[in-house]
Amino acid sequence: MNTATHWIGGRHVAGTAALINVVNPATGEVIAQVPAGTTVDVDHAVAAANAAFAGWAATDPAERAQVVGRIADGLRGRTEEIAATITSEMGAPITLSRTAQVAFPVAVAASFAALAPDFAWTEQIGNSLVVREPIGVIGAITPWNFPLQQIVSKLAPALLAGNTMVFKPSEIAPLTAAILAEVAAEAGLPPGVFNVVHGTGPTVGAAIAAHPGIDMVSFTGSTRAGRQVSAAAAETVKRVTLELGGKSANIILDDADFPEAVTRGVAMVLTNGGQVCGAWPRMLVPAARQDEAIELAVAAAAAYTVGDPTDESVHLGPMASEQHRQRVNGYIERGLADGARLVFGGPGRPGGLPEGAYVRPTIFADVVPDAVIAQEEIFGPVLTITPYTGDDQAVQIANSTMYGLTGAVFGSHDRAMAIARRLRTGQVDVNGAHWNVLAPFGGYKQSGNGREFGRHGLEEYLETKSIQG
């Protein structure tokens, strides 16, 4: 069994004797262990990051971009190894691990490397020279659902901007972090620029958020944990960016291509087992066409095979942990108790899968907008279908949660675009538009603050100085 280490100052550091088990959620088997980091480990990593900062910040942006580009190349070259690691540590189907869990972060890193030549690092405004400079040491804390994507989305712009980093991966899916550290070192990243400290949120995460030697915290995770990070960071008035929960709505208009809209909507709530912050777990349909939407949704969900995530034919693996399986199953039971109409799936494990953290993909219909399952983030393969009457009511329902991360509208182009502008959410897909790696991503309301990807994502990791001459 593999025992991972911290990565501090460009070398492996064992940490304390206390260890955290990494469990394969498909089998319940302990596949590795990582050290249970302490505040002392965080102190060492912060010291290494601070020592490396001046040299890395002074490095020409073009050279920093070349390193980020080599990181993208290195990750691409280890696609199979990384995909297999992610599948074993958090249960993503192996095909998804290749095509999304690895391919997306490779694309993100490459996109940031390409930004450097045209980015306005300096700007003349009257008699002032405006200079964009690195912030300092970045503390990064990420979840388990996309373990490589989440950190590369922070690391690539942070490095390009000239910052150094202390990173805490999720203890549920921490193994990819070791591969990333190796790739970064092989790409020519100087020792201490990127440091990895394993451990739990209450210990290592809290220490990072509050540390006076860290100048900014970038956190992705639940809204509850994001509030705690913000409170801890406020003591030292450090910058905080948060990418938090979501409960996004997919509005299907009466003039939409219903088969296309419903099928894509189901895919967006079942991909990665629904463990996607930008998923569309609420499907809003015209009341007169709810039965049609139900029939299409059930047919689409029935085509998804649940099972061993190492099987190339499987579409849905287990939840990332047994604890999370119980949480998702509890929401399914809550939906039944509250009177939502179950039209597919239900509580309990799928047939033929008595072991492992599996849940049944589930669809509820006639879900009232203020139902618990329509308001709280389930983070699992659970779709709610809510009927509406008229465009205004659809927009009102879509905007009725505390979240505002993503959303979707299907219908005639001009009408759908008009409704997209009315949604209080950071990103809206119209008629299944493709993901744009250069477009800003982030939330309104309690889905967070700050943006990732492209120029907007790079700017989050820069300070602005004006020099009058």
pLDDT digits (tens, 9 = 90+) for 82-103: 999 999 999 999 999 999 999 9
**Strand pairing of 382-388 and 282-286?**
parallel
| Catalytically annotated residues | 243
Predicted pLDDT of residue 1 = 67
Pick the CATH number of 249-438 from 3.40.309.10, 1.10.540.10, 1.10.357.10, 3.90.79.10: 3.40.309.10
Right CATH for 2-244+446-468 from 1.10.3720.10, 3.40.605.10, 1.10.1660.10, 3.30.1780.10: 3.40.605.10
Under 8 Å between Cβ of 150 and 101:
no
pTM: 0.97
For the chain, the structural domain boundaries read 2-244+446-468, 249-438
Burial of 133 (0-12, 13-18, 19+ CB in 10 A): middle
What per-residue confidence (pLDDT) applies to 15? 83
Query: Exposed, middle or buried: residue 267 (CB in 10 Å: 0-12, 13-18, 19+)?
Result: middle
Which whole-number Å values give the CA distances from 358 to 147, 222, 353, 424, in the listed order?
20, 21, 7, 33
**Which stretches of the chain drop beneath a pLDDT of 70?**
1
pLDDT of res. 301:
98
